[in-house]
Amino acid sequence: MEVRRLLCVVAVVVSCWALAAPVARCDPQVPCYFIFGDSLVDNGNNNYIVSLARANYPPYGIDFAGGPSGRFTNGLTTVDVIAQLLGFDNFIPPFAATSGDQLLGGANFASAAAGIRAETGQQLGGRIPFAGQVQNYQTAVQTLVSILGDQDTASDHLSRCIFSIGMGSNDYLNNYFMPAFYNTGSRYTPEQYADSLIADYRRYLQTLYSYGARKVVMIGVGQVGCAPNELARYSADGVTCVDRIDDAIQMFNRRLVGLVDEFNALPGAHFTFINAYNIFDDILANAASYGFTVTNAGCCGVGRNNGQVTCLPYQAPCANRDQHIFWDAFHPSEAANIIVGRRSYRAESPNDVYPMDISTLASI
């Protein structure tokens, strides 16, 4: 048994899915994976609500085996990659399409246009904010208690699972820096806004901890100021990232690191921070070495930088998708997501994570 387990751990570096021997199958490194977030990781929850923030139509999913699924990219999202590297046989399903024993393996609660603040993204219609995602998780826990028989067994099960949270992008994109719809930009300084977001984030983390979450991955906000939409709107040359947006995001990210230290003081807690901003900064700075030739325009979109209007239904995307960092006006391509997912799982730089990567967290 120990030899088989060792082989599985080694094999996961090249993806456990590649180990296709018919006589044995690798068990996942953790029993379940629960995902919270926005359109960067939504894999279909918004398909079930009335919202403009949906991606269940071509050309979204053009490189995904199942076609358009609700993923806001051409193929895999970062959490799809992480699930593969953790050894799961299948992608973690959207909560909206998950029930019963399926919840034993986890669920994806993410919702496009969602934010930490309740009002974030409201101009796009329906979405499930962080609070609603946490409520859905609480419902899932009650189901798990019923399935497993008692609270203690469910708590033990959940304590071995990975939880990842990627929230905050929309609180800047679709709130603070959108004065036509929101007044937060005039009511708060960037520092005050970051403090307000972190206060809400802390409250939701406390609820997750109370409901069994112990191995928690907090994914920082990436370089929103470098997205094609922001370049199209604010960048004079269409290439230079928008510093006032990225500076504000860095204030939020630094506070997230503080939350990691705060929650790691709790019994049994193992919280970690993924520095998505740093990883993305490296991808942009060294694009050619990663095989990217286009760093400032979406593969699919309309207008300046292919970013003034995001990818339209049945629009023909670019042919060289693997050479684009961005798939549409806001979201990375599968090629970029694979890099971020791999570096989240196994850090390639000391600046990628704090204090540990996901592979280390899974082994605890």
Reply yes or no: is the peptide bond before residue 59 cis, omega within 30 of 0. yes
Rounded Cα distance between 288 and 203, Å, is: 41
Q: Which two tokens stand for residue 340?
A: 């971020």
Tell me which of 157, 270, 324, 331 is the catalytic residue: 331
Say if CB 87 and CB 12 are below 8 A apart: yes
Tell me which of 328, 333, 357, 359 is the catalytic residue: 328
Ramachandran quadrant class, 339 (left: phi over 0; alpha: psi -120 to 50; beta: rest): alpha
Say if CB 148 and CB 81 are below 8 A apart: no
The residue among 277, 363, 350, 290 whose CA lies nearest residue 325 is: 290
Q: Which two tokens stand for residue 262?
A: 């705060």
Q: Which residues contact 330 (CB under 8 A, 6 or more apart)?
A: 39, 72, 173, 227, 228, 229, 310
157 is catalytic: no
CA 182 to chain centroid? 24
237 is catalytic: no
- Residue tagged 């209007």 (tokens): 309
243 is catalytic: no
Q: Which two tokens stand for residue 40?
A: 């960067």
What's the chain's Rg over C-alpha atoms?
20
What is the bridge-based pairing of β-strands 215-219 and 106-108? unpaired
Active site residues: 39, 328, 331
